[in-house]
Structure 1
Amino acid sequence: MDTKQLYSGPPNPPPTPPPTPPPNPPPTPPPTPPPNPPPTPPPTPPPNPPPTPPPTLHPTLHPPLHPPLHPPLRPTLHPPLHPPLACFN
Protein backbone atom coordinates (compact mmCIF):
# COMPACT_ATOMS: atom_id res chain seq x y z
CA MET A 1 0.00 0.00 0.00
CA ASP A 2 1.16 3.36 -0.90
CA THR A 3 1.57 5.58 2.14
CA LYS A 4 1.31 9.14 1.29
CA GLN A 5 1.62 11.71 3.90
CA LEU A 6 -1.17 14.15 3.88
CA TYR A 7 -0.06 17.70 3.84
CA SER A 8 -1.18 19.25 7.05
CA GLY A 9 0.58 22.57 6.89
CA PRO A 10 3.84 23.64 8.37
CA PRO A 11 5.13 21.67 11.27
CA ASN A 12 3.92 22.74 14.69
CA PRO A 13 6.19 25.28 16.30
CA PRO A 14 7.78 24.24 19.55
CA PRO A 15 5.50 24.96 22.51
CA THR A 16 5.84 28.46 23.86
CA PRO A 17 7.09 28.47 27.42
CA PRO A 18 4.66 30.17 29.80
CA PRO A 19 5.43 33.83 30.24
CA THR A 20 7.71 34.59 33.10
CA PRO A 21 5.77 36.51 35.74
CA PRO A 22 7.29 39.86 36.53
CA PRO A 23 9.35 39.84 39.68
CA ASN A 24 7.50 40.83 42.80
CA PRO A 25 8.05 44.50 43.61
CA PRO A 26 9.78 45.14 46.89
CA PRO A 27 7.27 45.45 49.73
CA THR A 28 6.04 48.97 50.22
CA PRO A 29 6.93 50.26 53.68
CA PRO A 30 3.90 51.36 55.68
CA PRO A 31 3.25 55.08 55.40
CA THR A 32 4.90 57.11 58.10
CA PRO A 33 2.23 58.70 60.29
CA PRO A 34 2.51 62.47 60.56
CA PRO A 35 4.21 63.63 63.74
CA ASN A 36 1.91 64.47 66.60
CA PRO A 37 1.30 68.20 66.85
CA PRO A 38 2.57 69.79 70.05
CA PRO A 39 -0.07 69.77 72.78
CA THR A 40 -2.24 72.83 72.77
CA PRO A 41 -1.81 74.82 75.99
CA PRO A 42 -5.04 75.45 77.87
CA PRO A 43 -6.60 78.78 76.98
CA THR A 44 -5.51 81.61 79.20
CA PRO A 45 -8.48 82.94 81.17
CA PRO A 46 -9.11 86.62 80.62
CA PRO A 47 -7.71 88.81 83.37
CA ASN A 48 -10.10 89.83 86.08
CA PRO A 49 -11.55 93.25 85.39
CA PRO A 50 -10.52 95.92 87.88
CA PRO A 51 -12.98 96.29 90.73
CA THR A 52 -15.69 98.77 90.02
CA PRO A 53 -15.30 101.83 92.22
CA PRO A 54 -18.33 102.68 94.31
CA PRO A 55 -20.58 105.17 92.60
CA THR A 56 -19.75 108.74 93.36
CA LEU A 57 -22.62 110.72 94.77
CA HIS A 58 -23.13 113.75 92.65
CA PRO A 59 -23.62 117.09 94.34
CA THR A 60 -27.02 118.58 93.90
CA LEU A 61 -27.19 120.04 90.45
CA HIS A 62 -29.86 122.64 91.12
CA PRO A 63 -30.33 125.39 93.69
CA PRO A 64 -32.75 124.77 96.53
CA LEU A 65 -36.33 125.05 95.40
CA HIS A 66 -37.38 127.40 98.24
CA PRO A 67 -35.92 129.08 101.28
CA PRO A 68 -35.97 127.17 104.58
CA LEU A 69 -39.45 126.92 106.06
CA HIS A 70 -38.45 128.36 109.46
CA PRO A 71 -35.48 130.06 110.98
CA PRO A 72 -32.94 127.84 112.69
CA LEU A 73 -34.05 126.64 116.12
CA ARG A 74 -32.85 128.75 118.99
CA PRO A 75 -30.86 127.08 121.74
CA THR A 76 -32.95 125.64 124.56
CA LEU A 77 -33.80 128.26 127.16
CA HIS A 78 -34.14 125.98 130.15
CA PRO A 79 -31.44 124.04 131.96
CA PRO A 80 -31.08 120.34 131.22
CA LEU A 81 -33.49 118.17 133.16
CA HIS A 82 -30.76 115.85 134.41
CA PRO A 83 -27.01 115.67 134.38
CA PRO A 84 -25.41 113.91 131.44
CA LEU A 85 -25.56 110.15 131.64
CA ALA A 86 -22.40 108.48 132.85
CA CYS A 87 -20.51 106.42 130.27
CA PHE A 88 -20.11 102.79 131.22
CA ASN A 89 -16.80 101.34 130.07
Structure 2
Amino acid sequence: MQETRAYLELIHERGKKGLPVERVYRQLFNRNLYLTAYGKIYCNAGAMTPGITDETADGMSLEKIDAIIKVIRDERYQWTPVKRVYIPKQNGKKRH
Protein backbone atom coordinates (compact mmCIF):
# COMPACT_ATOMS: atom_id res chain seq x y z
CA MET A 1 0.00 0.00 0.00
CA GLN A 2 2.95 2.36 0.53
CA GLU A 3 3.52 2.50 -3.23
CA THR A 4 -0.12 3.51 -3.76
CA ARG A 5 0.02 6.21 -1.09
CA ALA A 6 3.23 7.55 -2.57
CA TYR A 7 1.60 7.72 -6.02
CA LEU A 8 -1.48 9.48 -4.65
CA GLU A 9 0.74 11.98 -2.82
CA LEU A 10 2.63 12.60 -6.07
CA ILE A 11 -0.65 13.31 -7.88
CA HIS A 12 -1.71 15.63 -5.07
CA GLU A 13 1.56 17.58 -5.17
CA ARG A 14 1.54 17.89 -8.96
CA GLY A 15 -2.08 19.08 -8.78
CA LYS A 16 -1.21 21.79 -6.25
CA LYS A 17 1.51 23.02 -8.61
CA GLY A 18 -0.75 22.83 -11.66
CA LEU A 19 1.46 20.21 -13.32
CA PRO A 20 0.11 17.42 -15.53
CA VAL A 21 0.09 13.80 -14.41
CA GLU A 22 1.35 11.31 -16.99
CA ARG A 23 0.91 7.55 -17.42
CA VAL A 24 -2.26 7.49 -15.33
CA TYR A 25 -3.93 4.77 -17.41
CA ARG A 26 -1.51 2.07 -16.27
CA GLN A 27 -2.38 2.87 -12.65
CA LEU A 28 -5.86 1.53 -13.37
CA PHE A 29 -4.23 -1.92 -13.37
CA ASN A 30 -3.04 -1.44 -9.77
CA ARG A 31 -5.23 -3.52 -7.44
CA ASN A 32 -4.02 -1.56 -4.40
CA LEU A 33 -5.38 1.66 -5.87
CA TYR A 34 -8.89 0.15 -5.82
CA LEU A 35 -8.41 -1.16 -2.29
CA THR A 36 -7.30 2.27 -1.11
CA ALA A 37 -10.32 3.89 -2.77
CA TYR A 38 -12.64 1.31 -1.23
CA GLY A 39 -11.10 1.96 2.18
CA LYS A 40 -11.97 5.65 1.87
CA ILE A 41 -15.50 5.04 0.58
CA TYR A 42 -16.96 2.15 2.56
CA CYS A 43 -17.14 4.00 5.90
CA ASN A 44 -19.20 6.87 4.45
CA ALA A 45 -22.88 6.87 5.40
CA GLY A 46 -23.93 7.16 1.75
CA ALA A 47 -21.81 4.19 0.63
CA MET A 48 -24.71 1.80 1.14
CA THR A 49 -27.17 3.94 -0.82
CA PRO A 50 -27.76 2.60 -4.32
CA GLY A 51 -27.19 5.09 -7.11
CA ILE A 52 -28.20 4.69 -10.75
CA THR A 53 -27.48 0.97 -10.43
CA ASP A 54 -28.30 -1.20 -7.41
CA GLU A 55 -24.59 -1.60 -6.60
CA THR A 56 -23.28 -0.37 -3.26
CA ALA A 57 -19.86 -0.41 -1.61
CA ASP A 58 -20.65 -3.58 0.33
CA GLY A 59 -20.80 -5.49 -2.97
CA MET A 60 -17.10 -4.94 -3.67
CA SER A 61 -14.72 -7.90 -3.57
CA LEU A 62 -11.24 -8.80 -4.78
CA GLU A 63 -12.83 -10.83 -7.55
CA LYS A 64 -14.82 -7.80 -8.71
CA ILE A 65 -11.71 -5.60 -8.62
CA ASP A 66 -9.80 -8.18 -10.66
CA ALA A 67 -12.67 -8.37 -13.16
CA ILE A 68 -12.68 -4.57 -13.54
CA ILE A 69 -8.91 -4.54 -14.08
CA LYS A 70 -9.17 -7.33 -16.67
CA VAL A 71 -11.87 -5.51 -18.64
CA ILE A 72 -9.85 -2.27 -18.57
CA ARG A 73 -6.66 -4.11 -19.59
CA ASP A 74 -8.53 -5.73 -22.51
CA GLU A 75 -9.92 -2.27 -23.44
CA ARG A 76 -13.49 -3.55 -23.18
CA TYR A 77 -14.71 -1.34 -20.30
CA GLN A 78 -18.04 0.34 -21.02
CA TRP A 79 -19.01 3.43 -19.02
CA THR A 80 -22.53 3.31 -17.64
CA PRO A 81 -24.54 6.32 -18.76
CA VAL A 82 -26.08 8.25 -15.89
CA LYS A 83 -28.88 10.72 -15.53
CA ARG A 84 -28.03 13.94 -13.69
CA VAL A 85 -30.51 14.75 -10.96
CA TYR A 86 -30.66 18.16 -9.32
CA ILE A 87 -31.79 18.05 -5.69
CA PRO A 88 -33.73 21.08 -4.41
CA LYS A 89 -32.22 22.85 -1.40
CA GLN A 90 -34.10 24.79 1.28
CA ASN A 91 -32.83 28.12 -0.07
CA GLY A 92 -34.51 27.47 -3.45
CA LYS A 93 -31.30 26.58 -5.30
CA LYS A 94 -30.48 23.12 -6.56
CA ARG A 95 -27.60 20.81 -5.65
CA HIS A 96 -26.00 18.53 -8.23
TM-score range, shorter chain: under 0.3
Q: Name the structure, 1 or 2, with higher relative contact order (CA <8 Å, separation 6+).
A: 2
- Normalising by the residue count of structure 2, what TM-score does the alignment of the two structures yield? 0.15
Whichever of the two has the greater Rg, that structure is 1
Structure with greater proportional helix content: 2
